[in-house]
Structure 1
Amino acid sequence: MTDIFSWQHINYTIPLGGGKHKELLEDVSGYVAPGKLTALMGLTGAGKTTLLNVLAQRTLVGVVTGDRFVNGHAPPRDFQAQTGYCQQADTHVPTLTVRESLLFSARLRQPKSVPDSEKEAYVEKCLEMCGLTAFQDAVVGSLNTEYRKRTTIAVELAAKACILRLILILPTSGLDSQTAWAIMAFVRSLADNGLSILCTIHQPSAVLFQLFDRLLLLQPGGQTVYFGDIGQNSSTLLNYFERNGAAKCRADENPAEYMLTAIGPAANAKTHTDWHVMWEHSPEAATVQDELDKIHAEGRSRPPVAAAQHKEFATPWVYQTKLLFQRDCLAHWRNPTYLLSKIVLNIAAGLFIGFTFFKSKDSLQGTQNKLFAIFMSTIVTVALAHQLQIPFIDMRDVYEVRERPSRMYSWTALITSQILAELPWNVLGSTLFFLCWFWTVGFASDRAGFTYFMYCVVNPMYYTTIGQAIAAMSSTAEIAALLFSFFFSFVIAFNGVLQPFRALGWWRWMYRVSTYTYVVEAIYGQAIGHQPIRCGPVEYVQVDPPTNMTCYEYMQPFINVAGGYITNPNATAACDFCPYSTTDAFMGQNFNIYYDHHWRNLGLLFVYIGFNVGALFVLTYIFRIKFFNPFAWIGWLRRRLARLSVFHRHEQKSS
């Protein structure tokens, strides 16, 4: 690889509000050559990570000025995809093996035209190059820090980036000296194989520092202090600082610490040296500019680097969704804690509710018990929705931190795969609940089909999509759980069971909006509708008819209007009257539930599910893709109102 990435006069400014701005980078120039390992160093707040983000086109706010070139030409439109970027945090799906992680990166970041066999062969080469062959079948979450860092680098190598192979942010941060040496020796070997590597490093040892070929040194404010060769035993670097007034570096002193001390605030206060100004007027800066001009002139004599992909992503959307679905299914399968918690919750809840209302009779109390058995089954979905929000947010974090900036796949493919991968397990869990619950409560077997479809297929589709939709606008699983509990409390409270329809008053609109109004009516109405009611001994109302009248003669006009039945029609005293003769009358009069509405309610639930799916995509776009910040809108509204107030006072004063 002979492509040279360079940059000239890079400035980066971010707004602070109130018309103020802060400059994080000021007139930074340099280049990264193939086969060279370039260190990016500086004091805290010098803008090291900021510069890497700017160079890799990963900034989200602020204004960037200056030029970035590949062989003297503007970078191709897929520059992000052709750049390997290793962040300080080793963000991976912990349940995938090392080899699966590399294959996933290769298949999505290399063009679809490349055969899978060729991608797999390249992955094997990356595993060997990174010393991961012996660990290729280990899940990433089980690796120690060194091999997790190697995996991070290998994942970027598997993408086969064509321009800047690796940008590393603090690859030795938090490591012990032996592990840090192993990582940097490995990075050094990659550079020796012809890769272009730009790497930030914080206070390396003298031995580690000698592994680098070149250095870009920044001082606070993002200003260049030095850019050039380090030299044997740091001789070139030390000569520059000593020649320009820095104290002589002792033989036992670490050159990396020496130069940071030399440009530090305390040293500058004593010598009044502005090392940035010193650099701008130095012959070394002029030499760097000449080198950049030569690189650009030579590069412009050749055609520019063509984009490897002419669309936003290297692979089609359907292919992305397929691979993401496979990854999500593997992640679920290899997370037994998550699956067992889902299964155990359904089984335990099914048995608990089933035996609480064990073999409910067809009496008034038994009919109401069946209603509450159905209502309590809907409450279980709250805990199930909380469970699924955690893997949803974890997978989204991996996408936002590492995979989205690399343009691996579309966010819509991620959301689609998340829905599809979650549904089978929720259907399985609901099926286990149904088997433990339906016949235990005492529902009729000839009503099981529709009830199973409603509770085990349609209901999981609903709570899966609404749980993920609320998670889409939440930054953490804890916030998602709080929001879901808050919103779902209205769905649970106003579905007509705890507060019957006729007692709701002003809140009847919430009864109409609540999804579980239609879930409960569909399941309960169909499960027990069109069935007789036989009152228990304590449920009869005893009525004494007038003299010379039988119970039938006295009660029949009332029964014709209000319903019910009497057990002793020929008696002339103590008539045993049951207020309801059918479950339809009991459901309709008390809970506004009707058997004939179950197909209508099924259709309405699909409308709700469609709304949830649409909301999931829209909320993801607003809160995670466009980074909607409600506090920013509140601030804008306050400033707008303040301006209107000032304008109004000015108008009053003028009049």
Structure 2
Amino acid sequence: MRVVKNIVSTKRTVVCTIHQPSIDIFEAFNEIILMKRGGQIIYSGELGQNSCNLIEYFEGIPGVSKIKENYNPATWMLEVTNPSVEAELGVDFAHLYKESHLYQDKDQDLFNIMGSVYVFTISIGASNLLSILPIVTSQRTIMYRERFAGMYPSKAHSLAQVIIEIPYIFLEATLFLIISYPAVNLYESAYKVSWYFYDIFCTLLNYKYMGMAIASLSSTYQMASICGSFCITMVNLFSGFLIPQPMLPKWWVWFYWIIPTSWTLRGLITSQYGDINREIIAFGKRKTITAFLKSHYGFNHEDLLLTAILLLAYPIFFASIFTYFTAKLNFQRR
């Protein structure tokens, strides 16, 4: 423990697993995460002086026996949270923790949810963009041949490629919703589920059409791949998650407003939490979730309609670019 304390004194965080420690070792830790069988958290927070915070929390649960004088808090904690005690009391400690102020006051849970949604969206969006590049560039040769033979115009080929993606994206968005929504543990509301699906559907469609637009402007697949990777990097950097909009330099904030990913994140988070007035402790200050999102990220629930319009406008914009430049540009080598 002396080594651990020396590391902590350098302002580093140490994470340890402990198994039935003595009182001295147990109370040497600042915070503890207690999980029951199955990995569900039943306590997460500071121990306090002489484990007072931990003891106060569990003794506040009706039916839990009080700790004896000079008794090891670690041993008592394991005894009162034993599955047999939980069954005897008829309670679910994991559910009680989620309903407690310890859980609801944490801004970290909001950051975790935002991070999960952000990573899910960026990863599957980037996959959609990059996967369409070789298909569009390879089919362009067929389009040139059929156009030269007078079978159909370039716009007919482009529109067919645009339209055929819609049912596939719809299915992909549905599967994404079924998997990610309960995994992130978002609100069980038809209104919020509908908004989540709409945001994801428009976003996946946007990434797909963005990739098609990039391919229509590139002479080769290699060039399209380089441009696509660059675009993914830029929309990732300026999406508003890694660097929130209020913290962006003035000479770069314009880029935040024109990229589609920033509106995706704004729509996903605002539709889920923009109308929640529950208070949390964020950066040492108590404020509502609505106020925190507005001050830290610049998200406003009143902008939800504008966000919905722009989320639909971006796919239309990129599909139009793809259709126009496929007809106008000819990269065929003779």
TM-score of the superposition, structure 1-length normalised? 0.33
For residues 379 and 497 of structure 1, the distance between their equivalents in structure 2, rounded to whole angstroms, comes to: 11
Amino acid in structure 2 at the alignment position of 1:453: Y
For residues 496 and 392 of structure 1, the distance between their equivalents in structure 2, rounded to whole angstroms, comes to: 30
Change (3 A) 1:540 1:587: closer
Structure 1 alignment gaps of length 5 or more:
1-358, 542-578, 630-655
For residues 324 and 265 of structure 2, the distance between their equivalents in structure 1, rounded to whole angstroms, comes to: 28
The 5-angstrom pairing of residues 466-477 of structure 1 reads 466-477=210-221
Amino acid in structure 2 at the alignment position of 1:529: G
String of CA shifts for 1:466-503, please: whole Å, max 9, x gaps. Answer: 11010112233332121111123222211211111222
Deviation at 1:540, TM superposition (A): 8.5
Aligned to 1:412: 155
Say whether residues 1:604 and 2:317 are aligned partners.
no
Amino acid in structure 1 at the alignment position of 2:229: S
Aligned to 1:621: 327
Question: Does the CA-based 8 Å contact 1:522-1:602 persist in structure 2?
Answer: yes
The 5-angstrom pairing of residues 235-384 of structure 1 reads 362=104, 363-380=106-123, 381-384=125-128
Provide the alpha-carbon RMSD of the alignment: 2.5
For residues 260 and 286 of structure 2, the distance between their equivalents in structure 1, rounded to whole angstroms, comes to: 28
The 5-angstrom pairing of residues 212-227 of structure 1 reads none
Aligned to 2:140: 396
Aligned to 1:440: 183
2:205 partner SS: helix
For residues 273 and 332 of structure 2, the distance between their equivalents in structure 1, rounded to whole angstroms, comes to: 48
Out of 254, 257, 263, the residue aligned to residue 518 of structure 1 is 263
String of CA shifts for 1:369-424, please: whole Å, max 9, x gaps. Answer: 12112211221201111112222222222222x32221111110000000111222
Question: Does the CA-based 8 Å contact 1:471-1:477 persist in structure 2?
Answer: yes
Question: Does the CA-based 8 Å contact 1:522-1:599 persist in structure 2?
Answer: no
Question: Does the CA-based 8 Å contact 1:385-1:464 persist in structure 2?
Answer: yes
Deviation at 1:592, TM superposition (A): 0.4
Amino acid in structure 1 at the alignment position of 2:257: R
Choose between structure 1 and 2 for higher RCO, CA contacts under 8 A separated by at least 6 residues: 2
Question: Does the CA-based 8 Å contact 1:364-1:533 persist in structure 2?
Answer: no
Question: Does the CA-based 8 Å contact 2:280-2:289 persist in structure 1?
Answer: no
2:252 partner SS: helix
Amino acid in structure 1 at the alignment position of 2:262: T
For residues 317 and 132 of structure 2, the distance between their equivalents in structure 1, rounded to whole angstroms, comes to: 19
Deviation at 1:628, TM superposition (A): 10
Question: Does the CA-based 8 Å contact 2:155-2:324 persist in structure 1?
Answer: no
Out of 288, 304, 324, the residue aligned to residue 582 of structure 1 is 288
Change (3 A) 1:520 1:461: same
Question: Does the CA-based 8 Å contact 1:462-1:608 persist in structure 2?
Answer: yes
* Paired residues, number: 229
For residues 147 and 283 of structure 2, the distance between their equivalents in structure 1, rounded to whole angstroms, comes to: 68
Deviation at 1:524, TM superposition (A): 0.6
Moved segments of 4+, more than 6 Å: none
Higher helix share: 2
Say whether residues 1:460 and 2:166 are aligned partners.
no
For residues 460 and 497 of structure 1, the distance between their equivalents in structure 2, rounded to whole angstroms, comes to: 18
For residues 278 and 108 of structure 2, the distance between their equivalents in structure 1, rounded to whole angstroms, comes to: 10
Amino acid in structure 2 at the alignment position of 1:430: A
Amino acid in structure 2 at the alignment position of 1:434: L
Question: Does the CA-based 8 Å contact 2:240-2:256 persist in structure 1?
Answer: yes
For residues 243 and 234 of structure 2, the distance between their equivalents in structure 1, rounded to whole angstroms, comes to: 11
Higher strand share: 1
Question: Does the CA-based 8 Å contact 2:270-2:304 persist in structure 1?
Answer: yes
Question: Does the CA-based 8 Å contact 1:470-1:483 persist in structure 2?
Answer: yes
Out of 512, 531, 553, the residue aligned to residue 276 of structure 2 is 531
For residues 389 and 628 of structure 1, the distance between their equivalents in structure 2, rounded to whole angstroms, comes to: 17
Deviation at 1:529, TM superposition (A): 1.9
Change (3 A) 1:540 1:382: closer
Question: Does the CA-based 8 Å contact 1:530-1:582 persist in structure 2?
Answer: no
Amino acid in structure 2 at the alignment position of 1:516: T
For residues 606 and 628 of structure 1, the distance between their equivalents in structure 2, rounded to whole angstroms, comes to: 33
Deviation at 1:368, TM superposition (A): 1.2
Question: Does the CA-based 8 Å contact 2:133-2:224 persist in structure 1?
Answer: yes
For residues 416 and 540 of structure 1, the distance between their equivalents in structure 2, rounded to whole angstroms, comes to: 50
State, as a whole percentage, how many aligned pairs show the same letter: 22
Amino acid in structure 1 at the alignment position of 2:149: S
Amino acid in structure 2 at the alignment position of 1:465: Y
Question: Does the CA-based 8 Å contact 1:364-1:534 persist in structure 2?
Answer: no
For residues 386 and 601 of structure 1, the distance between their equivalents in structure 2, rounded to whole angstroms, comes to: 25
Deviation at 1:532, TM superposition (A): 4.0
Amino acid in structure 2 at the alignment position of 1:470: I
Out of 419, 424, 430, the residue aligned to residue 167 of structure 2 is 424
Aligned to 1:188: none
